[in-house]
Amino acid sequence: MAGISALMGKKIGMTRVFGEDGSSIPVTVLEVGPCVVLQKKTTDKEGYNALQIGYWEKPLKRLNRPARGHVEKAGAETGFRFIREIPVENPDDFEPGQKLTLSDVDMSQLVDVVSVTKGRGFAGTVKRHGFSRGPMAHGSKHHRAVGSTGMSAYPSRVLKGKKMPGRMGGKRKTVKNSLIVDVRPEENLLLVKGGVAGAMNQMVLVYFK
């Protein structure tokens, strides 16, 4: 089915496959779909064409009443952990409650994969930014400290953007132009060359070229 620009899925893990010449190719295994159409957005009503899709089933009893009414209106039998919008050319080609899988996608050899990086918690500058440590001798008072951060009399403040300790990871990241190595629609699996950000079972959004 033409017109599907993206689908949601999750990262299964990494492995390798062998090419025809015997070369070893590192791949990330993504389980993509099935996604369920929950709502159609049209230019006449919302000002743009898109589909609202749900992924990763969740029991209806775990939803609040507004969310439950929303999915039941679409004819879905379960709730969903993740709901996103994807742009489409013609929303009228789709119906609420319809399931979208890899079999419905006209894809090329490249995809963009959007995910969230692993969260590392609160980290210092050595781990977060690769700062060098100070001497480790007993007399040193500068082992893994930040060092000088501010200015002198002018401007008498720390400039914005200064590399400092803080929360590391847990940010949205897009890996562009990942090469598709194998597609297995019957198993909802998509194998892309190289790495994809995030931990195992991390939700990903795959944009098809």
- CA-closest candidate to residue 169, choices 116, 133, 130: 116
Cα 202 to Cα 195: distance, rounded to the nearest angstrom: 13
SS3 66: helix
| Residue the block writes with tokens 């969230």 | 116
Beta strands in the chain (DSSP E): 6-18, 24-32, 35-41, 50-58, 79-87, 99-100, 110-116, 121-123, 166-168, 172-184, 189-193, 203-208
Instruction: Report CA torsion sign: 175, 179, 181, 185.
Output: positive
| Chain segment 43-56, per-residue pLDDT in tens | 999 899 999 999 99
How high is the pLDDT of residue 188?
Answer: 93
Q: Quote the pLDDT of residue 33.
A: 82
Per-residue pLDDT at 155? 87
Q: Check residue 63 and report its DSSP letter.
A: S
Mean pLDDT of 9-22: 93
pLDDT of residue 62: 92
Give the pLDDT of residue 2.
57
- Per-residue pLDDT, 14: 95
Helices (DSSP H) in the chain: which residue ranges?
Answer: 65-73, 125-129
Which amino acid is present at 140?
Answer: S
Cβ-in-10-Å burial (0-12, 13-18, 19+) of 30 comes to buried
pLDDT at 158 exceeding the cut of 70: yes
Contact (CB, 8 A) for 165 and 123: yes
Question: What domains are defined for the chain?
Answer: 6-135+167-208 (2.40.30.10)
pLDDT digits (tens, 9 = 90+) for 85-96: 999 988 888 999
